[in-house]
């Protein structure tokens, strides 16, 4: 299914929704549709319930961490430079550096089991990756989102508003970090590991005694 007509249909039927096609340059060519969180539930309901769409199966939910990063772009600019006969205008290369906006992202893969088509890939992004990390939950629409959104909450820290049971699913309740974020720092005490061994044992001993298993400080 091509996204251009689907984007136009959603915009025509859901006033105010903001959609953007995100192209995938890989050989798979699985382009996706970036949707705004404010209209996400209306978009999801339309995709599920429209008779000619019937996206009744949410197969996969994935989290992505996008910290801020610097981008460099070479552009052509016209400048006045000194020439043999005086100042002249000349086109020169100039590098422009910009910082990307840090955010977290969720990617959903939808299929229609009834009509045998798909996938349609949806994306949603948080406002940042610090305090404004709320997104609407799709669990009330596709029950298969339940455990997958919990996993993303657990590993990335995205808060899914409207989720019926949003709690950690892999880490224990008292854990305070998000292991899949790119700036995650692995602990060196491993207090939750009852049978520490190999590298874990070395880190644990170093943490508590300052010595390696061989006895060196």
In a domain, 205, yes or no: no
**Same domain, yes or no, for 135 and 51?**
yes
**Same domain, yes or no, for 133 and 153?**
yes
**Same domain, yes or no, for 37 and 130?**
yes
In a domain, 177, yes or no: no
From first to last of its 217 residues, what are the pLDDT tens digits of the chain? 689 999 999 999 999 998 999 998 888 878 999 999 999 999 999 999 999 999 999 999 999 999 998 878 888 888 887 778 778 888 888 888 888 889 999 999 999 999 999 999 999 999 999 999 999 999 999 999 999 999 999 999 999 999 999 999 999 888 889 999 999 988 776 666 666 677 777 777 777 787 655 554 4
In a domain, 123, yes or no: yes
**Total domain count for the chain?**
2
**Same domain, yes or no, for 109 and 156?**
yes
Give the separation between CA 35 and CA 18, rounded to whole angstroms. 6
Out of 129, 155, 170, a domain closes at 170
**Same domain, yes or no, for 145 and 73?**
no
Question: What does the pLDDT read at residue 194?
Answer: 62
**Same domain, yes or no, for 110 and 47?**
yes
Residue 90 tokens, joined: 């000349």
**Same domain, yes or no, for 55 and 93?**
no
In a domain, 184, yes or no: no
Burial of 74 (0-12, 13-18, 19+ CB in 10 A): exposed
In a domain, 190, yes or no: no
| Residue (of 17, 178, 187, 174) closest to 104 by Cα position | 178
Specify the 3-state DSSP secondary structure of 199. Answer: helix
Question: What does the pLDDT read at residue 89?
Answer: 82
Question: What does the pLDDT read at residue 70?
Answer: 82
Q: Tell me 188's DSSP state.
A: S
CATH number at residue 130: 3.30.460.80
* Residues 6+ positions from 126 with CB-CB distance below 8 Å: 103, 104, 105, 132, 133, 134, 135, 158
Q: pTM of the prediction?
A: 0.79
| Domain coverage including residue 21 | 3-65+103-170
**Same domain, yes or no, for 55 and 74?**
no
Q: How far is CA 167 from the centre of its chain?
A: 19
In a domain, 21, yes or no: yes
Per-residue b or e along 32-64, where b marks 16 or more CB atoms closer than 10 Å to that residue's CB: bbbbebebbbbbbebbbeeeebbbbbbeebebe
**Same domain, yes or no, for 14 and 78?**
no
**Same domain, yes or no, for 133 and 79?**
no
In a domain, 193, yes or no: no
């Amino acid at each position: 299914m091509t996204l251009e007509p689907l984007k136009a249909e959603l915009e025509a039927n859901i006033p105010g929704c903001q959609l953007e096609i995100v192209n995938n340059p890989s050989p798979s060519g699985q382009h996706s549709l970036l949707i705004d969180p404010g209209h996400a539930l209306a978009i999801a309901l339309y995709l599920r319930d429209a008779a000619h769409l019937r996206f009744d199966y949410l197969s996969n939910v994935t989290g992505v961490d996008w910290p801020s990063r610097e981008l460099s772009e070479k552009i052509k600019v016209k400048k006045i430079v000194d020439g043999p006969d005086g100042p002249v205008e000349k086109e020169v290369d100039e590098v422009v550096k910009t910082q990307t906006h840090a955010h977290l992202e969720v990617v959903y893969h939808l299929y229609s089991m009834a009509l045998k088509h798909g996938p349609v890939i949806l994306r949603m992004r948080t406002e940042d990756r610090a305090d404004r990390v709320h997104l609407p939950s799709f669990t009330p629409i596709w029950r298969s989102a339940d455990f997958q959104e919990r996993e993303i909450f657990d590993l990335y820290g995205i808060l899914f508003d409207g989720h019926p049971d949003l709690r950690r699913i892999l880490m224990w309740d008292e854990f305070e970090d998000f292991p899949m974020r790119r700036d995650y720092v692995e602990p060196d005490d491993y207090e939750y590991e009852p049978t520490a061994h190999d590298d874990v044992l070395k880190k644990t001993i170093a943490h508590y005694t300052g010595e390696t298993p061989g006895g060196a400080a």
